């Protein structure tokens, strides 16, 4: 009796498992017109090698998409009067002119003029002193 009940349950599971509708692909895998954007990654380490920054960027139209991965154990924070190791922000310069400060690891520079540009990203403590970690890249809009 127990064996036949177990056999019935197994057969029911097999039948129900095989009767699935075709699942739709996730939107990211669905066939659509997609523009492939090259993402370029660069890495730099401070002179005392206690912190490093990896920079990923891509360009679409007149926008530059940036991602800054800072290790180890870095936390983005607004500026404050007290300097604390492992906290801070990044400041971005386009052609040696300050574009802005950011307290997130990923951000977009919108409306960058067309042409070739030098983009410099510097890592700052939360009191705005420099860590000594910076990366300069060439971008073409």
131: CATH: 2.60.40.10
The pLDDT confidence band at residue 36, using thresholds 50, 70 and 90, is very low
Quick check: is 5 in a domain? no
Quick check: is 20 in a domain? no
Q: Between vectors from CA 97 to CA 101 and to CA 41, what angle results, nearest 5°?
A: 65
- Distance from C-alpha of 113 to C-alpha of 94, rounded to nearest angstrom: 10
Q: Supply the pTM of this predicted model.
A: 0.66
Listed residue (73, 71, 70, 81) closest to 126, CA to CA:
81
Quick check: is 74 in a domain? yes
- Distance from C-alpha of 90 to C-alpha of 128, rounded to nearest angstrom: 9
Query: Residue 62's domain spans which residues?
Result: 40-140
C-alpha radius of gyration, the chain, whole number:
25
HEC string of 107-139?
EEECCCCCCEEEEEEEEEECCCCEEEEEEEEEE
The pLDDT tens digits for 44-96 are: 555 545 889 999 999 999 999 999 999 888 999 988 888 888 999 999 999 99
Quick check: is 91 in a domain? yes
pLDDT at 127 over 70: yes
């Amino acid at each position: 009796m127990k064996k036949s009940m177990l056999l019935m349950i197994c057969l029911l599971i097999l039948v129900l498992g095989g009767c699935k509708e075709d699942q739709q692909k996730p939107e990211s895998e669905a066939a659509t017109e997609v523009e492939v954007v090259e993402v370029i990654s660069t890495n730099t380490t401070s002179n005392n090698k206690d912190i490093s920054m990896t920079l990923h960027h891509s360009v679409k139209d007149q926008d530059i998409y940036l991602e800054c991965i800072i290790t180890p154990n870095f936390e983005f924070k607004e500026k404050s009067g007290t300097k604390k190791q492992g906290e801070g922000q990044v400041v971005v310069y386009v052609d040696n002119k300050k574009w802005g400060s950011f307290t997130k690891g990923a951000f977009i520079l919108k409306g960058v003029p067309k042409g070739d540009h030098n983009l410099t990203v510097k890592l700052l403590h939360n009191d705005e002193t420099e860590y000594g970690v910076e990366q300069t890249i060439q971008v073409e809009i």
